Amino acid sequence: MFVSCSISQIGSPHEEAKVPLKISLEGRAACGGLCAAATSAMTHQMGDKFEDLKKDILQDAAAMSRSPFLLMLPVLGTTKLDAQSFRDRAGGAWSTIGVIAALIVTMCNYTDIVECDDYTVSLFRSASVCNCLHPILSFVAMLSCTVSAIMSTILYMMIGFVPDEHIREWAQGISWIVEAPTFSFIAGAVAWALDILLQGIVKHGQVGLALGGCMVVVGLAVVATYLKIKTITNQLLLRAYAETQ
């Protein structure tokens, strides 16, 4: 109102009508420009966050897929990791894996007969398939954990005989073996857990199936936790190697 009165004193009535319209159009144009700039900045920021997230995921996947035993080798012999420390850490890991694998072997009931009832057969649509699951799963669990325990014992014993100055060469020469106890243990533990799940369904019916679902959820949470811890561990090993360069 103040602008309209001021302009009417110096211009004609037609000019008084045009000026507010001109101010309104300029305001809309300025507002549109600000909105476009804000939208562009937000889009650019979201794009940067997506690229950073994609980069982090790829780095996590690359770190998760590597072996912590092999990632220690480039650092071995530096101020970050000496030979005795590598021997203690690797030996401690192998001894722990071997003990737990041997414990699972004692809990495998491969010689027991588990016959599926009608309810369990209805889940697998075949009595022959259902009756074969227990011997297969228990055999895989027993064999895998036995291999894990034996390989852990061999590695734990032999690493103690290797001189400090040759321990890196020794580890590189058997790089495909150092993770064998871990992989065998994981395979055996999974097979043993699935066999327990099957026996629970056979003996407890629908209640066993429901509890088996809870068991699967817990198992997936354990696997996710393992992968997360492994990723962080490998990332720190990679950082330690980068700091030595």
Instruction: Please write the tens of the pLDDT for every residue from 80-120.
Output: 888 888 889 889 999 999 999 999 999 998 888 888 888 88
CA-CA-CA-CA torsion sign (166, 171, 174, 178)? positive
19 pLDDT more than 70:
no
Output the pLDDT for position 157.
Answer: 93
Contact 181, 104 (CB under 8 A): no
pTM of the model: 0.69
3 pLDDT more than 50:
no
Most distant CA atoms of the chain, gap in Å? 108
134 pLDDT more than 80:
yes
Instruction: Please write the tens of the pLDDT for every residue from 4-14.
Output: 444 444 444 44
Output the pLDDT for position 82.
Answer: 85
Extract the tokens encoding 144: 């895998």
- Residue 150 contacts by C-beta under 8 Å, 6 or more apart in sequence? none
Average pLDDT, the chain: 79
What torsion do the CA atoms of 200, 201, 206, 209 make, to the nearest 10 degrees?
A: 80
